[in-house]
A and B are shown apart, each in its own frame.
Chain A
């Protein structure tokens, strides 16, 4: 399967714990995006990378959220000191840099439940 993959697919954690999610984009894609989606809402853009550079991070929900893409391939999203309100689906998408008319391909998501 050469699509976007995410790991883990499900995560249950206790409030206050740190969690880290991984995203592996489609291999030839240089852009990678993170979104959060809650029930009944569309995906909410959090941040994106072009290669290893994080070009937009102002949409990260708080300073508890951080993302990295150290080698321009896979990316990680970390949430520190989780809160119950962080419970959501976290989606990753990738695309190639072909100007504005690019298509994002989504991974299956990581469903987070904070108890």
Chain B
């Protein structure tokens, strides 16, 4: 089993739709969680951190479920410009080292 798993999609949704992605992780020692957005042939850019209490930034909501070991990203009122790949990253400490692990990403296509 991969340490971090995401459904690659694509998720194909109309403008205005609400869409949710999940990202599961296998190592219970994981301590920090983030969502990144990556446009085609561009570098990943931070979308938001994921806090235990959940957090919201405009149309985006991120949540963490430690018991079930997954994080989620909810996008409300989808825009065409939301079309991108959404990457989750899970960070843990191991042997004094800092180990970030990215999922493979979930592709979102928002159509008119």
Which of A55, A105, A108 lies in contact with B98, CB distance below 8 A?
A55
Which of B31, B49, B93, B105 lies in contact with A42, CB distance below 8 A?
B105
A-chain residues with CB within 8 Å of residue B87 when the two chains form the complex: 42-43
Known: A42-B87, A56-B98. A104 touches B104 (CB 8 A): no
Contact indicator A45/B102 (Cβ below 8 Å): yes
Give the distance in Å from the alpha carbon of A41 to the alpha carbon of B38 in the complex: 11
Interface of B is mostly: strand
Q: Give the total of A residues in contact with B, Cβ under 8 Å.
A: 25
Q: Which residue of A lies closest to B42 (CB)?
A: A108
Min CB distance A29 to B, Å, is: 14
Min CB distance A44 to B, Å, is: 7
Min CB distance A65 to B, Å, is: 17
Contact indicator B104/A42 (Cβ below 8 Å): yes
A48 CB–B CB distance under 8 Å: yes
Contact indicator B96/A40 (Cβ below 8 Å): no
A-chain residues with CB within 8 Å of residue B93 when the two chains form the complex: 100
Q: Which residue of A lies closest to B45 (CB)?
A: A106
Interface of A is mostly: loop
Known: A42-B105, A100-B32. A91 touches B100 (CB 8 A): no
Min CB distance A1 to B, Å, is: 13
Q: Which of A60-115 contact B (CB under 8 A)?
A: 91, 100-109
Min CB distance A70 to B, Å, is: 20
Min CB distance A87 to B, Å, is: 15
Q: Which of B1-32 contact A (CB under 8 A)?
A: 4, 6, 8, 31-32
Give the distance in Å from the alpha carbon of A108 to the alpha carbon of B99 in the complex: 21
* 7 more CB-based (< 8 A) A-B contacts, given A42-B105, A55-B98, A103-B49: A33-B100, A42-B4, A55-B97, A56-B98, A58-B97, A102-B32, A104-B89
- Chain A residues in the interface with B (C-beta under 8 A): 31, 33, 35, 40-45, 48, 55-56, 58-59, 91, 100-109
- Chain B residues in the interface with A (C-beta under 8 A): 4, 6, 8, 31-32, 34, 42-46, 49, 87, 89, 91, 93, 96-105
